[in-house]
Structure 1
Amino acid sequence: MNVHLLDAGFAAAATAAWYGAFALARLITRPRGVHAAPSTPDLGAEPPAVVSLLAAGWEITEDAGEATLVDLAARGHLELRQPGDDPLQTTIHVREEPDTGLLPFEQQILDRVRQLAHGGVLPVSALTFRDQGQAQSWDKRLRGAIVAEARRLGLSQRRFPPALVAGLMVLAAGASVVIAWAVFHWLSLQPAEGGGDNTGGAVGAAIAAFLISLGVFSSAAAADQGERDTPAGREVAARWLGVRGWLRGHEAFADLPPSAVAVWDRYLSYGAALGVNRVVTGVLHLGLGDRKRVWSSFGGEWHRVRVRYPRLWPRYGKPTARLVRQGVVTLGIGVLLIWARGRVDVPYADDVLVAVGIPLALLGAYKLIRTMLDLAITRTFDAQVLWVERWTGTVLGKDDPDRSYLAVDDGSGDRTVAWARPSGLGGRPGDTVRVTVRPWSRRVVALTVLT
């Protein structure tokens, strides 16, 4: 057996083993599902932002901040007025109430309103940030404060506890040692420049490989993996899901505007936190909007849709001609490398040519076959446009004028993957459209606005 291929195999196996352990850790620590308690109108003591965290499966959504804003109005710190029929005309009026007893994230939202208000009045449309950097910084601080409160109450915990992170670090060190040994063994068998022993160079390369591998693995292990449930958190979440069931029993509740807090009091803020009231969350925006969780009325009922936006798909949104060209080039290079086997007088060249050429040839053939099938098999369906965003998925991060993300809800489920819309096609959020798409490349080939 080729010794160099064996070294590469050891390094690949060590890398795969560590990422396998990492994936297993994420699988084991996923938040467990919660079954709703019987329907009840009894509210608990937990703040709406924490309730939103629990109801969303231990994820923080934009509902948390918006529900907190309504709750501040319910508790007398703010007043929400709607002068006309349109909830978007709602104004926020700051009251001179003492700030004692406010939680850090509640104080942060109240400070934001006071900072923007002129003469104590602020239109809800002026709440959003105009600078993405400021929005992200403010949102990060808000999320951190909400998570801290949930942990203080014993309702949430780190998804990766310190012991698990330490275990992954130990595995990372072990995998890095294997990779470093493989690099050392590989290079130590190579003669140094001008002949002689290459041990010194092999040791330096092995140390570099160890440090780089350990850094990559450790960064992944130490990164914030989000929150997960606790026994107390599941119990409280079940009770609040019972409240959500009770609120859903009131048909008009979903369409109540923010100003209805004067009548419904804290029920409205908790309804927003639980995702029951779509008008409140549609009118109030504290950030730049959550493009990954979008409201849709397609099918006659309001519901949230989770949207995923591909970034690393080589085929995503590309026209057929470009995909065919890439397939032909990849296949050609692979065949050329295989053909060159036995014709290059370089040590181990044959093994390398075959090891690289066969996968490239198979990949090129696969691309060509799938592209032809993609061209022949199209889908046409009606849907509601949820989100439109310029595509910035190039290697250099530059905008691609030929493509933009188009997220639509076709009524098939509460999750979807955004399509790639070529320039020249219409469709704005809220439009009902008829689209023709190529499923594999996820490219829109025709779009007609219906309403």
Structure 2
Amino acid sequence: MDRRLLFDVAVGAVALGAWFLVYGIVRVSTRPSRPVPAPATPELGAEPPALVSLLVNRWSVTEDAVESTLLDLAARGHVELRQPGDDPMQTTLHLPPTPPDEGRLRPYERRVLDRVRGLAVNGVLPLTALTFRDPTQARAWNRRLRAQVVADARAAGLSRRRFGPAVTTLLVALAVVAAVGVGLAALHYGIWHGTEDNPGLAAGFITFAALATIAGVSPGERDTELGRQTAARWLGVRDWLRGHEQFNELPPASVAIWDRYLGYGAAVGATRLTSAVLDLGMGDRTLVWSSYGGTWHRVRVRYPRLLPRYGRTVPRLLLSAVISIAVGAFLLHVLGGAVDLPPATADRAERAVTLVVDGVVVLAVLVLASGVYTLVRGLTDLVTERSITGEVLWVQVWRTSAQGENEPARPWLHYLAVDDGTDERTTAWGLPSRWAESCHDGDTVTIRVRPWSRRVVGLSVIGHGRSRRLAESAVAEPDPMPPAG
């Protein structure tokens, strides 16, 4: 290797390595501490469960923040949890006719309560129906809630940014130094090799932009002195709750007995059963809650994948049928169309050839029969179109087509699961992707379908659902900006 090139590479590597070394040291030195738990105590503090979850999870907002907030709202009378049977999964949420004063609710508590109210039908909502069906909506909703929890923790002096202004300024300044080093190395290389467009300036600028971007992305929260003391106290509450063996197996409806202890138990990870039942993440697409008809019920959805007719257009089905018929008829014509048993006097080679020919004949018959069946059913599909009105349960990408080397695959067919109220089971339809954005889970739609191919050939939205209103309000809502700290 050219010594000059080796020197230039070494200079650039040292400049970048020094910056990443400092960055690594800063990350390690700003990690949240592990507070030593205070003595076990049943005394609850003034912090809401979401903040407690942040503190006991080393200043990280987990799903426990949402679950514990919902339980705390129930303990304070904003919602009611009822378990009609022995199965905690049957728990339902009920909105009280006269809710308590909401003036003191924190933003993230109001967010959880608004979701319950937005999904409830006649004041009732199955607990497991709180899950999301749209991953984009789920991420946006949880991102805003996490930002609200962090903003509250910073305002209370319990948390601060891991990379404060001083640390960020230091890293950006060092990024300038590293960029100069890389730029000079590239400049030196360009001069010695006589390149027309010297890469020094571009290399330095790209290096600075990349390192400054890394420096500007906060890796999360860290502790404060008050936060460490508060976390230690709540870890003592956690130890006290874990000292009650039955507490770990309490269902969500037991909040009526345990009051706010159950919400704080979920915040500190002491309620295995309750936390397993509560879920505000992505739901199960094969078992979906529907409110079509005015009452909540679950619908089991099947998503066909293997049979090629599902979601196909009639022209494509007819084309494949004609090809199958032609191939089958040609093979039968060439082979004689009859299965012959090998004679008893035939040797082993003749028997093998005869058996292979017979197998091809059988295969040709099956291909021909499949083509005829597809042709008949495809033509029948055209005259048996029908309209269905129901509630959209699930919309998801099904099939995509490959694009260019640097372009993402483009969807051309979506799954569309609709509950028309006639059965507890349904099979998803194939929805052309150009209509996928026009409907949302919870919407009431009328679709024109072809039953055999399970393809949607017409769609009209006749009523917007609660999930759409919640999604639209979430999009319109600006992201909360936590105070600097």
Mapping for residues 349-368 of structure 1, pairs under 5 Å: none
Question: Within the alignment, does 1:260 sit opposite 2:263 as a pair?
Answer: no
Choose from 222, 238, 247 the match for 2:216: 222
Say if 1:235 and 1:17 are closer, same or farther in 2 by CA, change over 3 A: same
Which of 263, 272, 285 is the matching residue for 2:266? Answer: 272
How far apart are the structure 2 equivalents of 1:263 and 1:191? 81
Out of 87, 110, 121, which is 1:118 matched to?
121
Secondary structure at 1:35's aligned position in 2? coil
Q: Partner amino acid for 1:170?
A: A
Name 2:56's counterpart in structure 1.
55
**Secondary structure class of the residue paired with 2:93:** strand
Residue aligned with 2:58, SS: coil
TM-score, length of structure 1 as denominator length = 0.62
- 1:79 Cα deviation (Å)? 0.2
Q: Which residue of 2 aligns with 1:128?
A: 131
Question: Deviations for 1:381-424, whole angstroms, at most 9, x for unmatched residues?
Answer: xxxxxxxxxxxxxx9988xxxxxxxxxxxxxxxxxxxxxxxxxx
**1:228 alignment partner, SS class:** strand
Structure 1 residue 159, shift from structure 2 partner: 0.7
Q: Following the alignment from structure 2 to structure 1, what is the Cα–Cα distance between the partners of residues 408 and 224?
A: 40
Match in the other structure for 1:177: 180
| CA distance in structure 2 between the aligned counterparts of 1:230 and 1:169, rounded to whole angstroms | 24
Deviations 1:341-384 (A, max 9, x none): xxxxxxxxxxxxxxxxxxxxxxxxxxxxxxxxxxxxxxxxxxxx
For residues 93-112 of structure 1, the aligned pairs below 5 Å read 93-95=94-96, 96-97=98-99, 98-112=101-115
Taking the TM superposition and a 5 Å limit, the aligned residue runs for 1:194-213 are: 198=196, 201-202=197-198, 205-213=199-207
- How is 1:2-41 mapped onto 2 (pairs within 5 angstroms)? 2-41=3-42
Change (3 A) 1:278 1:396: farther
For 2:12, the aligned partner's letter is: A
Moved over 4 A (4+): 395-398
SS of aligned partner of 2:34: coil
Whole-angstrom distance in 2 between the partners of 1:154 and 1:287: 29
Q: Distance in 1 between matches of 2:408 and 2:217?
A: 24
TM-score, with normalisation over the residues of structure 2? 0.57
Any idea what SS the aligned residue of 1:189 has?
A: helix
1:329-368 alignment runs, 5 A limit: none
- Deviation digits for residues 118-149 of structure 1 (CA, Å, limit 9, x no counterpart): 00110011101011000000000000000011
Q: 1:41 to 1:131 in 2, by over 3 A?
A: same
1:75-98, Cα deviation, whole Å (9 max, x unpaired) = 000000000001000000112313
Distance in 1 separating the partners of 2:7 and 2:104: 65
Distance, in Å, in 1 between the alignment partners of 2:119 and 2:209 is 43
* % same residue: 51
Which residue pairs with 1:283 in the alignment? 277
Distance across 2 between alignment mates of 1:41 and 1:178: 58
Q: Determine helix, strand or coil for the equivalent of 2:193.
A: coil
User: Post-superposition shift, 1:249?
Assistant: 1.1
CA distance in 1: counterparts of 2:203 and 2:266, whole angstroms: 51
Matched, 1:89 2:90: yes
Q: Do residues 44 (structure 1) and 45 (structure 2) align?
A: yes
Q: Distance in 2 between matches of 1:150 and 1:50?
A: 6
The reply on whether 1:240 has 2:234 as its aligned counterpart is: yes
Larger Rg over CA atoms: 2
Whole-angstrom distance in 2 between the partners of 1:211 and 1:121: 58
**Cα distance in structure 2, aligned partners of 1:250 and 1:397:** 53
The partner residue of 1:187 within 187, 190, 198 is 190
Distance 2:260 2:82 in 1: 16
Aligned-CA RMSD value: 1.5
Structure 2 spans left out of the alignment, 5+ residues: 284-405, 410-485
Change beyond 3 A, Cα 1:246–1:397: farther
Number of residue equivalences: 284
CA distance in 2 between partners of 1:172 and 1:21 (Å):
10
Q: How far apart, in 2, do the equivalents of 1:21 and 1:33 lie?
A: 23
In 2: Cα distance, 1:209 partner to 1:111 partner: 50
Displacement, 1:288?
2.8
Instruction: Report the CA distance between 1:210 and its aligned residue.
Output: 1.3
Give the partner amino acid of 1:76.
G
CA drift of 1:208 comes to 1.1
Amino acid at match of 1:174: V
- SS of residue matched to 2:94: strand
Match of 2:143 in 1: 140
Aligned counterpart, 1:437: none
Amino acid at match of 1:191: G
